[in-house]
Structure formats: C-alpha cells, structure tokens
A and B are shown apart, each in its own frame.
Chain A
Amino acid sequence: MRELRIAAVGDVHLDESLRGRYRERLDDIGEHADVLLLAGDLTRHGTLEEAGVVADEFRDLPVPVIAVLGNHDHHSNHPAEIAAMLNDAGIKVLHDDATVLDVDGVRLGVVGGKGFGGGYAGKCASDFGEPEIKAFIGHTKRIAERWRVALKELEADRRIVLSHYSPVKDTLSGEPLEIYPFLGSYLLAEAADAEGADLVIHGHAHAGTEKGVTPGGIRVRNVALPVLGRAYGVYCL
C-alpha cells in the first residue's frame, strides 16, 4: 500500500491582518503532502469576516483540505455558518462525523470534530452535581460517543482522528497543570483506542509539545502553530 503524507496544522487564528501571509507557505504543499488537515481555531473571534480569510487562504490547494473548528471559531456563535463558508471553499469540515478520501487507491478515513475538555483519567470532571458541571462533561461524553460510532463504521485503509482539544496529557507538557481540564479529555482518546486509529491530530495547546501517544498506543501529534513553529507538520503513514 502506498505511503500517505499527512500535512497538519492548527491554531492559525487568521484575521484580515494576516490575509495572504499563510497562503504563501502553501503553494508547494502538493510536493510535500497528499492531504492537509486543519485542527481548529482557524479564526481569532469566530466572525464570518475572519472565516472569509480562512476560506481564501485554504481554497483551491493542490491537495484536499479537511478541517475541524475550535473554541475560537465558536466565540461569535456562528459555527454552522463558518463551516458552510469553508465547505463552499472546498474545505471539508468535520462535525463529529467521518470522511473518506481516495488517495491513489488508498482509502484515507478521517473522523473528528472540535472535541472538548474535562480532564484526564483520575483527575477529571464527572457527570455529577450541578447541572452546569453535568452539561460541561456531558458535552464531551456525547462527542466521544459520536467519534466512537464514526470510527466503528469507518471503512478505510488508514484512519486518522482530527480534533481541536487534546485527547492526551503527553502533548500538553509545557502548559500549566491547572488548566489541563480545559485543554482536553481522556474520553476522546478512549474512543480512538476502543475502535482503533493510526494517528490522532489535535491543536489548542499552544504551549504544549508536538509528540505523544494514547494509552492504547496510537500516536498523537499536537499541531498548534506555536508548537510546530512551521507552516505545517508532515506525517507519513
């Protein structure tokens, strides 16, 4: 089976002041990668104007582009409109579902969405107490369950989970311990480990580190732009 080259970056936080700046790094992406994954926080405030910049920076690339949104992309309460604008620009936006690409006969399956927080095994929020806490952790639980089902139903040769929030602590190293519950949840990793994947990509943790692994042994890469320090990471499967 042919090797797949996966380019990925998150947390580009584009707005009008950055128009064109990112695009100049993408013109030769076809020489480096077969697909580009965007791990959320594509905008600064989640406005439609900023989404327009994102659409223009990533449209008509020589490789397919698959994205999830991040917490910043939700800030102005227009996630559906932003997703629609990106879809119109040819960028496939995942919302707790899956897509399968054919890359020279190799089926690449990508499952994912924004994800959410809650913390990591043994040190996390529980579905207990006030409705506000239940709503918080309930959101993560529902997302993880949808990912598990999407992975179970996925028929592909290579499987990637694309998230904004982090499924593991490994890639948070460098972030303050106190904010870990706001950076991700182990429930996301549990879903991936239960159904199997070849790689998990996430962003969100700007002060974290690039490389980690789930408890079940799936490689995890934090591709937040400040962590990578380069236009995108390229991972070969």
Chain B
Amino acid sequence: MEAPQYVAARVQRALAEDERTNELGIRVDVRGEQLFLRGQVTGNERRLLIADVAREAAPGLTVRNEITVIDVRGPGEEERL
C-alpha cells in the first residue's frame, strides 16, 4: 500500500500543476481512507473543481472538502502608520 504521505504529495502537486486548478495554497492530509482538503478560495466553483482534481489524483479515497469560500467584505477600518 502506498504511504499516505506520497498520496498527499501527489494530490498537492496535481492541484498546483493541473490547468483546471493551479492552486498552490491548499493543505492536503490523508488519514486512512479519507483525504482532507483545507484552505480558502474565492468562489464555490473553484472549491468544487479542486475536489474533482484531488479525487482524480487519489482514486479510492473519500474526499472531505473542508475548503472555505472567502466572502469579500468592504474595506473595513483604515490603519494609520
């Protein structure tokens, strides 16, 4: 059986290198039969695409998509330097 560290590394590379995602900022963890994705993206479409690419790179694992979608708020308070 392939060590989980190699599976996680393969998924992380796929997310970075696959043209559909090119996503560098997602944390990938494999625990048993589960693959966890964590991080932040700017839209739900991208969140789902990342899970698709991860699933293809690690068939047989259950993908737990814990990526959150950032809601871009107004500028908030200014800072005086």
Q: Which residues of A contact B (CB under 8 A)?
A: 5, 7, 12-13, 17-18, 21-22, 25, 29, 32-33, 44-45, 72, 75, 198-199, 206-207, 219, 225-226, 229-237
Contact = CB atoms under 8 A, between A and B. Distances in A.
B73 A230 contact: yes
Interface stretch (B1-9, B28-36, B37-45, B51-59): B37-45
B74 interface: yes
B70 to A, nearest CB: 6
Contacts of A13: 42
Nearest to A237: B81
Contact of B79 (A22, A75, A233): A233
Contacts of B73: 25, 229-231
Interface of B: 19, 22, 24-25, 39-40, 42-43, 45-46, 70, 72-81
A199 B72 CA distance: 24
B40 A45 contact: no
Contacts, number: 69
Nearest to A47: B19
Secondary structure dominating the interface of B? loop
B52 to A, nearest CB: 14
Contacts of B40: 206, 226
Given A75-B22, A229-B73, A235 B78 contact: yes
Contact of A207 (B22, B25, B75): B25
B72 to A, nearest CB: 5
Nearest to A5: B78
B75 A233 contact: yes
Contact of A199 (B25, B43, B74, B81): B81
B39 to A, nearest CB: 8
Nearest to A226: B40
Contacts of A236: 78-81
A113 B39 CA distance: 27
Given A229-B73, A230-B72, A235 B42 contact: no
A234 B70 contact: no
Nearest to B25: A206
Nearest to A234: B78
Nearest to B68: A226
B79 A21 contact: no
B44 to A, nearest CB: 9
28 contacts: A5-B78, A7-B75, A17-B46, A18-B43, A21-B42, A21-B43, A21-B72, A29-B75, A32-B75, A45-B22, A72-B22, A198-B81, A206-B39, A225-B42, A225-B70, A229-B70, A229-B73, A230-B73, A230-B74, A231-B72, A231-B74, A232-B75, A233-B75, A233-B79, A234-B76, A234-B79, A236-B80, A237-B81
Contacts of B74: 25, 230-231
Nearest to A7: B75
Contacts of A232: 75
